[in-house]
Amino acid sequence: MSTTLRLKIHDTRTGVTLKVRLTPKSSRDEIVGVEDFAGEVVLKARVRAVPEAGRANASLVKLIAAWLKLPPSSVTVVQGGKSRVKHIAVEGDAGALARRIETRLATLAR
């Protein structure tokens, strides 16, 4: 029996937030998919940057912005700056952003 994990995308006044589990010092920058991490479904991302002086967080912001085809200024780490699991805010129309994230996740699942 296969269980499909579904990422929770929370609507906010200015867009959406989602949880991301970041692996720094990876061989490449990429969005891997979703996973169950400590009982929560999170987006799994890897970046080459080291977790020093905010470099990994900055790389994550650029990665998510590029993945969603948005300007980096619309993506922010709002919680978990020094943690592996981060809350990411994405500014824009919440409905459109949720659909875009779901579409991008569907392409990863193939």
32: CATH? 3.30.1200.10
Instruction: Give the number of domains in the chain.
Output: 1
Structural domain harbouring 22: 10-108
Report if residue 43 sits inside a domain.
yes
70, with CB counted inside 10 A (0-12, 13-18, 19+), is middle
Report if residue 23 sits inside a domain.
yes
Local confidence pLDDT in tens for the 110 residues of the chain: 334 788 999 999 999 999 999 999 999 999 999 999 988 999 999 999 999 999 999 999 999 999 999 999 999 999 999 999 999 999 999 999 999 999 999 988 66
